[in-house]
Structure 1
Amino acid sequence: MRHGADQHLVEAVRSGDETAVGQALADGADPDVKAGRFRGSVLAEAAGAGRLEIAHRLVGAGARVGPADPYSASPLRAAVDGANVEVVRFLIARGALAAEPATRSSVLTHAASHTRFRPGPASLATLRVLLEAGAAPGPGEEAPLITAVMWPVAPAVLRLLLAYGADADQRRTDTTPAIVLAARRGDHAAVDVLLQAGADVDARDGQGRTALMHAVERNERQVIATLLLAGATIDAVSADGMTALRLARGWQRQHVEFMLGENHAGLDDVPIARTAVRIVPIGVRLTGDRPMLLLLASVIDIALDDLGDAEWRIRTGLDVETARTIAARLRDESVPATNASWYQLDATAEELAAARSALNELAYGTTRTMPAGTGRLEITDMLEELNRQLGR
């Protein structure tokens, strides 16, 4: 008799039938019965589906607010996954935070992560409820702000954490400041949020390096601009004698040197202590709709025709035949991808450089001819998108 009532309860919870849930409980169903062999309790099932009234009935009948076993999600975690704000609030009021196991990541960390994988107003509201309730990171976890910066999450999440008491100068357990972590990741939005919250723009990590030094090393120009506008010190010296300008010279980043105030910059051979490994691809795969690949071929043709062979070599430093080859290959050799709707073409680094140089000539050079139906601004957009992907 009990097994039948338990099964009726499971079915009623899954279907959201509140009356049937009440009847199953009246018939003696176990309010802690699992919703399936590899599932949590029926309370977790109801919480994940956002069934608040059913959760009320189950808890009223004595259901545990903690997890059914060490391997299944707790009702609170299931409610966080579903971004069911009112269920989260109800479970917290019934002691669900204290019932969370210490052997798993904290529900606070889980909620912050959820804003990244399932972004939406309800996810942010769920995190707010947990913060209001005093939810804390678990043993061995980094501070929520550090974890959020390292993932990274949207600026709105960082602002929420800061509004509920997170320290803008929070440091990771290895003493690295949050602003340095954000700069290393190239997250200029996070850097700006931290600065607006009062973070020290010149905070140093364990090597004595500032966020500006790390941004320069990684060629993160938006981060560099954000830090400089906030008054970052350009001539700060790290423990190993590095400055932002010396790092820019060591990586031969002339554009960054100009950002740092230099009036002249060249390809200097400067030895530095590097904290980053730069990847230099010797080949790439171009993917897109065929008309876009044909447009890129047309850009190359126009640049070559307008400049002529000699001027092309002088202005780009690239071989003319390489440019002609990639233009022809874009027209004739791009093929449909397997199991995808785009076309693709594998190109060498030199061929990609030729395509980028041609885009640059039409976007910013003296060439006035544009591909049919295309304006200079569209070419500029293509170039900027390519540069972003290349980290330029």
Structure 2
Amino acid sequence: MTNSSETPIKGAAVKSIGFLLLDNFTLMSLASAVEPLRMANQLSGRELFRWVTLSPDGRPVKASDGLQITPDVKFADAPTLDIVLVCGGVGIQNAVSREHTSWLQLQARHGRRIGAVCTGSWALAKAGLLDGYDCSVHWECLAAMQEAFPRVAMTTRLFSIDRNRYTCSGGTAPMDMMLHLIARDHGHELSAAISEMFVYERIRNEQDHQRVPLKHMLGTNQPKLQEIVALMEANLEEPIDLDELATYVDVSRRQLERLFQKYLHCSPSRYYLKLRLIRARQLLKQTSMSIIEVASVCGFVSTPHFSKCYREFFGVPPRDERAGQHVNNVVALIPASPDTDHRSSARLALDSAQGESTFASVRL
């Protein structure tokens, strides 16, 4: 593996990725994972990745939008893979069969790196492949997984890369995870160029969290707590005193403290601070507001205090956070691979892309 600032080693082995399609998988998540691989091949001018879709018997698998995808291969005919990613979607509890879990366990025993997109993490957890690992999953599945698989370290992050397990939530989050992996193996320049091709303004990282509706974390039994959090979210610039918050929802300060400790595992003031810092991070990454302005609109009375809290929470000061989002390095051409295998989907996509104006337009 190369350092993210280095160029890939010429002649490095092509990485093969298998996408296991489960019934009612989300097509958007599959596309978000595959398209960065295609563009990595196209912009680098060589086949860095190849991929196949799989199912137990090779029969068509229906996506959640009703479209059917005919997998490239069935399990018995699967090529040797470097990574296996499970594509989940709607009704995941009923989509995972014993065939799926047995095959995934076999792949893990063979040393494959294993991952999932959207709700596909459920299949990995059911196969016992996430015990002791950090895991991301679409927020709709988060509470159910926490209850069903207590040995799995569930997180609200957009994606989690923990040793040889790669998991992410749904929608466009798979693109962020794949861009991160591409940057890690082939440099930030290529990853940034792919992002530009997809008009993807900011590549989110492992520290970014999906916004989980509180009702999906708490259920419908805590309306007071939901109301308090809604008030906090609506008053980030001028934080409301905790006694006032308690009065607004007709609970005592002590009851307020107990609710947060029991259901959100922190004090109300800590949770409020977390909301303000997450908002500050969004503004630093997505706007040109000065650090002083960001501190002010997020309710901090001084910039030094804001910087101290930010560093303690995220591990970097606001100035470094902002500086880290820009990549200005120039990239060198990678000659086209002499590989003549035209059978993979990746190779076919690369061949057909050679006539496009963007082919090999980025140099590594």
How would you bin the TM-score normalised by the shorter chain? under 0.3
Tell me which protein shows more helix as a share of its residues. Answer: 1
TM-score under structure 2 length normalisation: 0.28
TM-score using structure 1 length: 0.26
When Rg is computed on C-alpha atoms for both structures, the one with the higher figure is 1
